[in-house]
Amino acid sequence: MSAANKLFTWKKPYELKKTDTLFLQAMQENVRHHYENSPDYARILDEKGFHPDDLREYDDLRKIPFIPTLYFKRHTMFSVPEKRLLIKATSSGTSGRRSLIGFNGSSLYRGLRMVLSLCKYHRLISLKPVHYIILGYEPARSNPSAITKTTFGQTLFAPALSRDYALKYTKEGYKLDLEDLKQKLIRFSQSKYPVRMTGFPAYTYFLLKQMKEEGICVKLPKGSLMSLGGGWKQFYAEKITKQDFYELAEEVLGIDDQYTVEFFSAVEHPVLYVDCRCHHFHVPVYSRIIIRDVDSLEPVPAGQVGLINLLTPMVDSVPLASVMTDDLGILHDEKCPCGVDSPWLEILGRVGIKDIVTCAAGAQEMLSAKER
């Protein structure tokens, strides 16, 4: 079995120290594979004077030349023949430049094992049927965005009695319909089956705020969950803290913040991060994170702000071994009350690059259009 497959089938998803050697081996395999199969990647490594043989020990991981996520928005790089890609996903569902990433069989297998292991750990898998309220896009052939696929994927962890979407697909394109979701939430609060809400925080917040203003407060059945994914970036302008958000959810839907789960992932780094009960994104065994100084790009110690560099050997089809985001973050190594001892990532947001339009920003645009 390859080291990568061993890593992605590791039983306990947060045993970081125990998997350091395995992680290094998987990265050695991965970097070598991309070097030998992607001429673009080989050229980048050659230009930086790095050869896969230079990756000897764990501390060498920081030397792997990282590729900026912006690069994937402008170039398509595959390390396997395109016909072997089973799924293609893009980074943005609405507007802006998109990264096109493809997954072959081995990459998908690892992703699936990772998702199952994490969802089992965080007790997200249930056999009890639920009603899904999805604050996101209804799947459609014309929408290849990864967020739509992962949001739909989340509705598979418990049997679905129903799926209702905020953005309904019509002949004229996507239409925002929150009124229908409010009625459904009122109805489901009387049901004996739990509700699972999932989707963009922006839409979820907007819906909760409207319900509060209209005096609609319900108590969703026991076992109801709210999961959030797709970024908080749009909240910087609104100055909404996560705490305010959780309090609003409790007031309007009766969902305690222990039942609010946040996900974080990126097309260019498809590792899933799930927050713990203290709402921290602990680093799972499948990845390692290096925070780098904004100017020198040298690694900084835990607790200091810098650019987030994400490493994973998950994907064989695209050279995603080490990617550099344009987000600032902090890696914390202080003890977390949840008991997980792997460090956790605090995402502070985007460095002031104006021309980046994310799907979250797209969501904000659609909301403003609706308000006008």
Among 336, 345, 360, 363, binds Zn ion (CB under 5 A): 336
Considering only the stretches 13-21, 39-47, 157-165, 274-282, report the one whose residues sit in contact with Zn ion under the rule CB under 5 A: 274-282
Amino acid letter at 78? F
- Write 245-252 long-range contacts (CB < 8 A, 24+): 245/201, 245/205, 245/208, 248/205, 248/208, 248/209, 248/212, 249/204, 249/208, 251/212, 251/217, 252/208, 252/211, 252/212, 252/216, 252/217, 252/218
| Interaction between residue 252 and Zn ion (CB under 5 A) | no
- The smaller minimum CB distance to Zn ion, of residues 110 and 280, is found at 280
| 280 is a contact residue toward Zn ion (CB under 5 A) | yes
Nearest to 259 by CA among 250, 267, 251: 250
Q: Between 200 and 344, name the residue whose CB sits nearer to Zn ion.
A: 344
Annotate each residue in 285-324 with x if it binds Zn ion (CB under 5 A) or - if it does not, as one string: ----------------------------------------
**Cβ 233 to Zn ion, closest distance in Å?**
22
With CB under 5 A, what is the number of residues at the site for Zn ion? 6
Nearest distance from residue 51's CB to Zn ion, in Å? 38
Residue 112 interacts with Zn ion (CB under 5 A): yes or no: no
Distance of alpha carbon 285 from alpha carbon 23, whole angstroms? 8
Query: Minimum Å distance from CB 277 to Zn ion?
Result: 7
Q: How far is the CB of 89 from Zn ion (least distance, A)?
A: 29
Distance CA 272, CA 287 (A): 9
Q: Does 338 bind Zn ion (CB under 5 A)?
A: yes
Rank residues 256 and 298 by Cβ distance to Zn ion and give the closer one: 256
Q: Rule CB under 5 A: is residue 257 a binding residue for Zn ion?
A: no
Task: Examine residue 80 and tell whether it contacts Zn ion (CB under 5 A).
Answer: no
CB 255 to Zn ion: min, Å:
20
Stretch that binds Zn ion, among 176-184, 251-259, 313-321, 335-343 (CB under 5 A): 335-343
Using alpha carbons, list the distances in angstroms from residue 162 to 16, 90, 133. Answer: 38, 27, 8
At 224, list the tokens.
Answer: 């109801």
In the complex with Zn ion, the residue whose CB is nearer, 341 or 365, is: 341
116 belongs to the binding site for Zn ion (CB under 5 A): no
* CA–CA distances in Å: residue 327 to residues 150, 210, 353: 21, 31, 10
d(CA 98, CA 74): 8
- Which of 307, 360, 284 is CA-nearest to residue 18? 284
> Pick from 125, 278, 302, 348: which binds Zn ion (CB under 5 A)?
278
Nearest Cα residue to 165 out of 131, 119, 192: 131
Q: Does 276 bind Zn ion (CB under 5 A)?
A: yes
Give whichever of 242 and 350 is closer to Zn ion, judged by the CB atom: 242
Nearest to 32 by CA among 301, 313, 280, 242: 313
Element (H, E) at 242: helix 242-253
**Shorter beta-carbon distance to Zn ion: residue 182 or 277:** 277
Nearer to Zn ion among residue 267 and residue 276 (C-beta): 276
Report the interface residues with Zn ion, using CB under 5 A.
276, 278, 280, 336, 338, 340
